[in-house]
C-alpha cells in the first residue's frame, strides 16, 4: 500500500499539468503554487526568491494577496506581469463562492470534474487500431481474459522459448504435453492437451473446426457469425479457454497437482460471467452452451 502511494505521489507533476483553479473567494487557492492565473504556477517563474522581491509570503492565499498587496516599482518583466495579474483580479473583485478546481479536457478546455477517459487519451501514445481489436475487447468480456489473450496475440507471454532468451538454463519443454518446445503456437494449438480442451469447449462454434493459427482465429473472432449470441459465445469461450490453458500450465510449472483436460473444459463451462453475458440462470449455463455448440 505504501509503495503504491509513493508511486502515485511521483505523478503529481504530471497531474499539475491538467489542473487549473478558477478563483472565486481565493480563500483556498495558493498564490504561489496553484495555477490561478494565465502565467501558470508563479513559483516556477520566480523561484523562492520571488517571495522576497514581491513581498508575498510563500504560504499566502490569493485572497490575502488581493486584500493586502501594495504596489511596488518592479525591476523585472516577470514581477511586473505578476503584479498586473494581482491588479486585474482586484479590479474584477472576489466573490463569496468557493474556488473551483478545473480539470483539463481535450481541445485545451478546462471543466469541473475529472474524466479518466479523456485524461488517458491525452497522456497515452496513440497507435492505429489493429484489425482484430473487436474480437478481443468486447462488452461482455472478462478483463483478465481479454488482457491475457491480448498478450498472447502479441506473443508477449512468458512461454518456454521466450524464457530461454534471458535464462538459458530454464526448462523450455511444454508443461502440458512434455513433447515439444513450449512456444505460443504450440501451447495453445499444437499441444495434444490443448487440442482436446479446444474441441470440448468451442466445438462447432468456430465453424469448420478450431483454427490452428492466431491470424486466422483472430479474424474468425471479428467476423460476425449467424447471430450476436453465437458470436459472443465464441469470443468469450475462446478467451476463457485460453485463460484455462495458461492457468493449468502455470499450475504445473510451480509443482501443483496436474488436472486432466476434462477439468479445464468444465472450468470454462462453469464460468460465472456467462450469466451476465447471456442473461441466463446458473443452472441453465452448461446446457445453453452445449446447445449452441451443437448447432
Q: Is the pLDDT of residue 289 over 50?
A: no
**pLDDT bracket for residue 129 (50, 70, 90):** confident
pTM exceeding 0.85: no
Mean pLDDT value across residues 58-65: 94
Q: Is the pLDDT of residue 291 over 50?
A: no
Check residue 274 and give its pLDDT.
44
How many CA atoms lie within 13 Å of 44's alpha carbon, on the beta-carbon side?
Answer: 11
What is the tens place of the pLDDT at every residue in 72-98? 888 899 999 999 999 999 999 999 999
**pLDDT bracket for residue 14 (50, 70, 90):** confident
Instruction: Report the range of poorest mean pLDDT among 17-31, 108-122, 185-199, 274-288.
Output: 274-288
Q: Is the pLDDT of residue 288 over 70?
A: no
Phi, psi dihedrals of residue 169, rounded to the nearest 5°: -90, 0
**Ranked by mean pLDDT, which of 157-166, 198-207, 274-283 comes out on top?**
157-166
Mean pLDDT value across residues 104-111: 86
Closest CA to 271 of 294, 237, 245, 228: 237
**pLDDT bracket for residue 286 (50, 70, 90):** very low
Mean pLDDT value across residues 205-232: 73
C-alpha 200/C-alpha 171 separation (Å) is 29
- pLDDT, averaged across the chain: 82
Judged by DSSP in three states, 5 sits in helix
**pLDDT bracket for residue 3 (50, 70, 90):** low
Q: Is the pLDDT of residue 250 over 90?
A: yes
All three cell numbers of 266, joined, read 468444465
Q: Residue 48 burial (CB < 10 Å; 0-12/13-18/19+)?
A: exposed
Check residue 266 and give its pLDDT.
63
Q: Is the pLDDT of residue 229 over 90?
A: no
What is the tens place of the pLDDT at every residue in 32-49? 999 999 899 999 999 988
Check residue 207 and give its pLDDT.
59
Place of cell 482465429: 217
**Cα dihedral sign, 157-162-166-172:** positive
What percentage of the chain reaches a pLDDT higher than 70? 83
**pLDDT bracket for residue 278 (50, 70, 90):** very low
Check residue 219 and give its pLDDT.
81
| Angle of the 261-269 helix axis to the 192-201 helix axis, nearest 10 | 30
At residue 75's C-alpha, the angle toward residues 73 and 79, to 5°, is 85
Q: For residue 20, list its beta bridge partners.
A: 102
Judged by DSSP in three states, 101 sits in strand
Per-residue b or e along 135-145, where b marks 16 or more CB atoms closer than 10 Å to that residue's CB: bbebeebbeeb
C-alpha 247/C-alpha 270 separation (Å) is 15
Check residue 265 and give its pLDDT.
59
Check residue 125 and give its pLDDT.
84
Check residue 231 and give its pLDDT.
80
Check residue 282 and give its pLDDT.
37
Strand extents, DSSP E, the chain = 19-22, 100-104, 110-112
Q: Is the pLDDT of residue 149 over 80?
A: yes
Amino acid at each position: 500500500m505504501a509503495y503504491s502511494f509513493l508511486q502515485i505521489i511521483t505523478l503529481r507533476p504530471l497531474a499539475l499539468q491538467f489542473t487549473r483553479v478558477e478563483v472565486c473567494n481565493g480563500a483556498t487557492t495558493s498564490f504561489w503554487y496553484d495555477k490561478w492565473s494565465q502565467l501558470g504556477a508563479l513559483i516556477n517563474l520566480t523561484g523562492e526568491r520571488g517571495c522576497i522581491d514581491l513581498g508575498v509570503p510563500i504560504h499566502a492565499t490569493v485572497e490575502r494577496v488581493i486584500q493586502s498587496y501594495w504596489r511596488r516599482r518592479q525591476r523585472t518583466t516577470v514581477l511586473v506581469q505578476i503584479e498586473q495579474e494581482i491588479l486585474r483580479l482586484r479590479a474584477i473583485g472576489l466573490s463569496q463562492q468557493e474556488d473551483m478546481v478545473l480539470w483539463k479536457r481535450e481541445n485545451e478546455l478546462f471543466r469541473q470534474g475529472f474524466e479518466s477517459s479523456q485524461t488517458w487519451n491525452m497522456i497515452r501514445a496513440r497507435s492505429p487500431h489493429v484489425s482484430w481489436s473487436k474480437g478481443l475487447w468486447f462488452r461482455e468480456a472478462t478483463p483478465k481474459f481479454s488482457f491475457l489473450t491480448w498478450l498472447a496475440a502479441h506473443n508477449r507471454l512468458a512461454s518456454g522459448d521466450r524464457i530461454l532468451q534471458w535464462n538459458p538454463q530454464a526448462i523450455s519443454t511444454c508443461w502440458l504435453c512434455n513433447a515439444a518446445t513450449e512456444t505460443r503456437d504450440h501451447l495453445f494449438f499444437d499441444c495434444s492437451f490443448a487440442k482436446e480442451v479446444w474441441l470440448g469447449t468451442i466445438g462447432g462454434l468456430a465453424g469448420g473446426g478450431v483454427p490452428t493459427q492466431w491470424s486466422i482465429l483472430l479474424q474468425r473472432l471479428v467476423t460476425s457469425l449467424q447471430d450476436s449470441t453465437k458470436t459472443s459465445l465464441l469470443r468469450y469461450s475462446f478467451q476463457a479457454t485460453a485463460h484455462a490453458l495458461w492457468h493449468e500450465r502455470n499450475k504445473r510449472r510451480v509443482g501443483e497437482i496436474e488436472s486432466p483436460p476434462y477439468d479445464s473444459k468444465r472450468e470454462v463451462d462453469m464460468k460465472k460471467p456467462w450469466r451476465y453475458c447471456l442473461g441466463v440462470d446458473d443452472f441453465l449455463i452448461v446446457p445453453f452452451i452445449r446447445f449452441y455448440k451443437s448447432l
